[in-house]
A and B are shown apart, each in its own frame.
Chain A
């Protein structure tokens, strides 16, 4: 029987490869402690983004996990429906938020479930913002400065894996005291599955600046 060798010299046939890691789970927790009468609202946000090599982008609001994006907080434009306990999630269930907390000495969490993130989503940027809700001043005090993480006595953000191992952390009140928006990092669909990569960048702005950059 005649047979032919089908491989040409010098041309290695591309082998298909798959990541053998399951979709991992990550938990982002932002905690803050400040005096009564000095209530700053700290919010943690995450995006179900697609990165084709030119940066992470979000096309629809349903992929934006933010307290600003719930029908409860933003009946006119919010895309995500909050649960009775205040928690909410993206439709895929890949991102879940514990719910908005506004009182002092509190915490918010976001859980990123790699196994449930939609097809095509390969980057989840994680951000934290602070804005002023009540500084104990008169409402007509026009000289009030914009809130910054340095206004809060202690404000930290941590990211842990499903075993509770801390993969990243920042003391926002120390390291980003002059800023009110910080990108902690991104959870990426890397060659070995979902993994966390730190960014640690801060600026003065608001969440719409974040959306403008990632959309």
Chain B
């Protein structure tokens, strides 16, 4: 059991004398005990300071000590605001729990937003027009997003670049490196003549022509990259806009449902309008969620094109075209590449084709 002395301020400690003999009041244990001033006897007749020690075992959290508000200690505490005379607009008291009870699956973000919308609603001034237009802005935005999605999916840069890539694949798939470089041994005159007439690129001349055209396509595709990146950004932005609009529509629908219930016994007609709006907004939400996945798919197409251009067309393909040019020079100078050299180029061509088709 605690004695009467415990927890009580300890006997005053000695601190340095001031010229007047008056000493400050100190809270807490002194940290230093070997200060010579501490050992100095108090001046006769001088006033001693009161030193309060912390009660044993008591701990004051550091953060709290640092957060003292000077005003709060000296100023009258106000519990209610001073309201100027006038017409008051009341607010509906709503909790997130009230809203969650109406829509258990709604995300916290949607419930927060719905609560905010309800809190902004003024039952004193609410009218039918307000109910009819409830969430209308968000629905309108949804319509704009759909139009924008169609516009972006029909973008010229997308169709043009897709065409370039298709033509590249067509040409590359037709190339027979070994035949075009003459690496196939023992071929007769007839076979060589027939090769010129088929659809394959299997002669030196055809390979050279194909190389020139592919090189042109590489240039055109590279030039379209910036537009394609802009398109991709626009599609990603649209994706984000659609998600935000979906949240706004869902929150408006939830708020309308709550207000319909709230007004049921007070303003029946208005309550019905809010119920209608809630249903209409929910329907929009279902459509929007469906189109959101379509928009995500649309965003993937330019993404695939950009990947193909950046990783294949602008990196691997120029190197392959360089090999074709070298091959052509070699054949023109009357030499033939070895079978292994030709196969190596054919392997690289095959890799590139695979990547472009993916």
A residues sitting closer than 8 Å to B (CB atoms) are 3, 5, 18-23, 49-53, 55-56, 114, 117, 119-123, 125, 127, 166, 169-171, 174-177, 179, 181-183, 185-186, 188-191, 193, 197-203, 210, 213-214
Contact = CB atoms under 8 A, between A and B. Distances in A.
B78 interface: yes
A123 B4 contact: no
A55 B81 CA distance: 8
B68 A51 contact: no
Interface in B66-103: 67-91
A197 B75 contact: no
Contacts of B84: 125, 127, 181, 183, 199, 201, 203, 210, 213-214
27 contacts: A3-B4, A3-B5, A5-B4, A19-B69, A23-B71, A117-B71, A119-B70, A119-B75, A120-B71, A121-B75, A122-B75, A123-B82, A127-B84, A169-B116, A170-B120, A171-B120, A174-B125, A177-B125, A183-B84, A186-B78, A186-B81, A191-B77, A197-B81, A201-B87, A203-B84, A203-B87, A213-B84
A49 B72 CA distance: 15
B130 interface: yes
A120 B64 contact: no
Nearest to B84: A183
B122 interface: yes
B351 to A, nearest CB: 52
Contact of A120 (B4, B75, B86, B120): B75
B91 A200 contact: yes
Contact of B86 (A56, A114, A190, A201): A201
A194 to B, nearest CB: 8
A59 B267 CA distance: 46
Residue from the set A20, A181, A191, A214 with the largest chain B CB neighbour count within 10 Å = A20
A175 B5 CA distance: 65
A170 B88 CA distance: 12
A183 B83 CA distance: 8
A98 B345 CA distance: 69
